[in-house]
Copies of this chain bind each other. A is one copy, B any other.
Amino acid sequence: MDFTFNEDQQALRDSVSRFLMVEAAPEKLRDIWQTDAGRSSELRAKLAEQGLTALSVPEAHGGLGMGDVDWALMNQELGYFGIPDSLADTAYLATGLLTALPEAHPVRAAWLPRIADGSARIALGHPVNPWVADAHLADLLLLAHPTEGGTEWHALAPALVQVTPCASIDASRRLATVAWAASDATRIADAAHGQVLADALLNRGALNVSSQLLGLAQRMLDLTVDYAAQRKQFGKPIGAFQAVKHHLADVVTKIEFAKPVLYHAASALARNAPDSAVRASHAKLVCAEAGWFSARKGIQVHGAMGYTWEVDLQMFMKRAWVLDAAWGDRAFHKQRLSDALLNNGALLGPGATFNTLS
């Protein structure tokens, strides 16, 4: 029993953080987000060079073979630095889906190496989301097709789909509805296996945004602490006022108690534990709350400055707001949690966390 990260994991995270600090500074992101495509192939290439696109691709396909627990750390950095959806969607979520296909599957074999080397962007259409993120630049789209027997999965080249963009309040987002037709030729998983993939993807997607939300919460806190230390009113930094201190102390508490929930959920998913779904929902709820709460306290402490486009807070705040409802909104996850707790006594009580009593 050791619920901590090892030094390698922490070192990798630190190096990614240092890299993004330089390469994903807010002013660069603003420039990128203002382009039509909203994405920079130059930045993507640098991320690939750092190995970020290869993180969870199996070693046999040129990747690093890492898993959900590593991503729980890494994604906090992506959240902290506001890296748009396409990277984690491709390198984490699509990779997870493809890796779960039979080893000999041609789509798996064809695309995992391209993910690892950074040359492919993959977009995902899951029924829980009413839109597809980053469909417009995708080299491949993996799309769910709900049928009576379960959710099939289909792989489509961009030429086979029609992408209609829909604007998000978050300037980093490029969302779209995608029109397409399912056929035998596009199917990569039938209804039975596909449902397993869809369920796993949903939990992974929820953890993906959970960890980004935690990173965002931390970024907004850091920005706000900086502001509170510098901004003076009534002859002293506003951070010296107890009301401001207590706002921000509460943000710390929310973040610190969301982290272990996230890590545990990631571990459950990695182990394919029977309680993966309820743990993922728990993580999503507390991370979303940390993000939302940090946004609220952040703008309050920033005062009118926080209401401006110019101050960086807004970039992260809007992302926190929208990820709150991505990959299952609060109602979705509360319902799952509620159903599980009312029906599964093994989740309750001392000793239940790591399932020793079940």
Identify the A interface with B (CB < 8 A): 241-243, 246
Contact = CB atoms under 8 A, between A and B. Distances in A.
A24 B242 CA distance: 38
Contacts of A242: 241-243
A71 to B, nearest CB: 39
A173 to B, nearest CB: 35
A138 to B, nearest CB: 44
Nearest to A243: B242
A246 B243 CA distance: 8
Contacts of A243: 242-243, 246
A1 B241 CA distance: 44
Give this chain's copy count: 2
5 contacts: A241-B242, A242-B242, A242-B243, A243-B243, A243-B246
Nearest to A241: B242
Nearest to A242: B242
Interface of A is mostly: helix
A243 B246 CA distance: 8
A241 to B, nearest CB: 6
Contacts of A241: 242
A258 B20 CA distance: 51
Contacts of A246: 243
A246 B246 CA distance: 11
Nearest to A246: B243
A300 to B, nearest CB: 13
A58 to B, nearest CB: 53
A242 B243 CA distance: 6
- Counting from the closest, the 5 A-B pairs by CB-CB distance are A242-B242, A242-B243, A243-B246, A241-B242, A243-B243
A246 B241 CA distance: 12
A213 to B, nearest CB: 28
A246 B300 CA distance: 15
A243 B241 CA distance: 9
A242 B241 CA distance: 7
A251 to B, nearest CB: 16
A179 B242 CA distance: 56
A246 B242 CA distance: 10
A242 to B, nearest CB: 4
A355 to B, nearest CB: 34
A263 to B, nearest CB: 32
A241 B243 CA distance: 9
A301 B118 CA distance: 58
A157 B243 CA distance: 59
